[in-house]
Amino acid sequence: MRESRRDKDRLSHILSAIRVIEEGLTKYHKEELLNNPLMYYGLVKQIEIIGEAANMLTQEFRDSHTEVEWRPIVNMRHVLVHDYIHISKEMLWDTLIHDIPEFKPWIAIRSKKNCSRISL
């Protein structure tokens, strides 16, 4: 059983991964990030971390925050890890520039609070 007190740690892991992604996006151009295997797979790894941390959040936390679509976040991680041969660079890029920035403010607020008592 997952402990709710660890939810804050998981949210912190998500926020750290988002910050690494943002740093890469500010320092490098799209072509550099997507065509350099080390940079590309570094970004993939950060999205994997986000998905794994989301998966490790308690069910109670996820159930109390239905405004976030947790299943697609976790599923993205599964695709990146288990079905990596089908990763599309454009799908990855879309996640990086649309989904991650949209998700960040929500995570940033909650990673600083006691997650078991958060409400919107």
Q: 32: which 2 tokens? A: 């550099």
Q: Annotated catalytic residue: which of 2, 19, 71, 77? A: 77
- Rounded CA-CA distance 65/11 in Å is 13
In the residue annotation, 82 being an active-site residue is answered as yes
Q: Residue 86: count other Cβ atoms within 10 Å of its Cβ.
A: 9
> Amino acid identity of 105?
P
Among 2, 10, 19, 82, which one carries the catalytic annotation?
A: 82
3-class DSSP assignment, residue 28: coil
The Cα 66–Cα 78 span in angstroms is: 21
Active site residue 19: no
Show which residues are catalytic.
77, 82
